[in-house]
Amino acid sequence: MSKLAAEHHHKAAEHHDHAAHHNREAARHHENGDHHLAAHHAQIAHGHLHHATHHATEAAKAHANEHTQYAKAANG
C-alpha cells in the first residue's frame, strides 16, 4: 500500500475516533437534559464523519492510482 493511502486511512480512523468521542459526549449531555450542548457535540461528530469519508475516498483514489501505475509498468 502506498504511503499516501496509508496516511489517508489513518486520518479517516482518527476522525472516526473523534466522531465517536463527540457522539458519546452528545449522549451524556442529552441524558443530563442539556440539549444545547448535546446538539453542539452531535454537530461536531457529524463534521468528523464527513472528514473521515473524505479521507477514505482519498485513500481509495491512492489505491487506484497505485494499481494503475503497476498495470502500466507490467504492460511496458
Residue with cell 489517508: 8
At 1, the pLDDT band (50, 70, 90 cuts) reads: low
Q: How far is the CA of 58 from the CAs of 9, 34, 48, 66, 73, in angstroms?
A: 9, 37, 15, 12, 23
**DSSP per position, 9-73:** HHHHHHHHHHHHHHHHHHHHHHHTT-HHHHHHHHHHHHHHHHHHHHHHHHHHHHHHHHHHHHHHH
Residue-wise pLDDT tens digits, 10-31: 999 999 999 999 999 999 999 9
Cβ 52 vs Cβ 19: under 8 Å: yes
Record the pTM: 0.84
Q: How many domains does the chain have?
A: 1
pLDDT tens sequence across 26-71: 999 999 999 999 999 999 999 999 999 999 999 999 999 988 877 7
Range of the domain at 16: 3-74
